[in-house]
Amino acid sequence: MWDLKLNNACNHRIINEPLEIKGSYPNYYAVLKRPVYGDNLKVKILDQNNLFVVNPTLIDYNLTDRKVLNFNISEIDVDVREEIYPKNTYYATYYTNHDNCPKCIYGTNTTNDISINVIGRPILTSDFALMVQKIKKILITELRSNLFDADYGSELPTLIGKPKTVLTLLKAQSTIQDAITYIKMQQTKNYDLLSDSEKLLKIDNFQVMPTNDPKLLKFSFEIYNLNGENVNVGVSI
């Protein structure tokens, strides 16, 4: 079996960030929300007329600064005067780094967006990686939030921000185990269709990780499949 791969390496790319144009004509400028890194500090500028065009006309803007765009000093013609109707809107696409990336700033250079490969096809996952993804998906889905299956999910999302008490830790461990039991029960319905790599055997070595934040809970546990493979998974709430 296979599924769309959700957990991918983040490219730290900011796409079509709306620009707040400041200054007066023709000396306009804009400050990006995040510093530019990579791609030779290039920023691609679009306006509202070609934002949704299949092959838009992109203008590469080379920064001398990592955040400030100074317009109307080269081939870029920016005009947001009140007498211009409809008012022009401009967007910037660029690369930043992990420390400033809104998609993975609290993670480890990964993102949960669906990704497309170089020939335009969705990146898929299968076997052991698919099983690990299923476990991660059920843990971050709040229990009873799925209209088609009230038993799908966990109570981990409801524990976000709770004090780090023994009761909270026991609740977290219990809801993780319940989610694992749910997956094992679902696998019995089409057991013969699954490869041994995709069949869940158990989770083990549940640990509470130390943190300096009194409201941040971090856990880790190991996932085992029927093929003898195992991987350590970390969860933070």
- The verdict on residue 4 lying in a domain is no
| Residue 187 belongs to some domain of the structure | yes
**Cα(150)–Cα(106) distance, integer angstroms:** 30
Please indicate, yes or no, whether residues 83 and 43 belong to a single structural domain of this protein: yes
Is 184's pLDDT higher than 80? Answer: yes
| Same domain, yes or no: 27 and 89 | yes
- Order of all β-strands in the sheet with 218-225: 200-209, 218-225, 230-236
Q: What's the full length of the chain, in residues?
A: 237
Query: How far apart, in whole angstroms, are the C-alpha atoms of residue 235 and residue 173?
Result: 11
89/80 Cα distance (integer angstroms): 8
- Per-residue pLDDT at 114 exceeds 80: no
Q: Look at 232 and 214; give whichever has higher pLDDT.
A: 232
pLDDT category, 224, cuts 50, 70, 90? very high
Kindly state the average pLDDT of the residues 161-179. Answer: 86
Answer yes or no: do 187 and 89 share one domain.
no
| Tens-place pLDDT, residues 66-76 | 888 887 755 55
CA distance 89 to 19: 7
Q: Of 48, 72, 107, which marks where a domain is finished?
A: 107
Provide the CATH number for the domain around residue 150.
3.10.450.40
pLDDT for the residue numbered 165: 82
117 within domain boundaries: no
pLDDT of residue 220: 86
Q: In the chain, how many domains are there?
A: 2
Does the structure show a pLDDT above 70 at 93? yes
- Residues 137, 186: one domain? yes
Question: Side chain identity at 214, as an amino acid letter?
Answer: P
Residue owning tokens 């005009």: 79
Residue-number span of the structural domain to which 181 is assigned: 123-236
Pair (127, 28) in one structural domain: no
Residue 145: DSSP 8-state: -
User: Do 89 and 162 belong together in one domain?
Assistant: no
Closest CA to 46 of 95, 86, 91, 93: 91
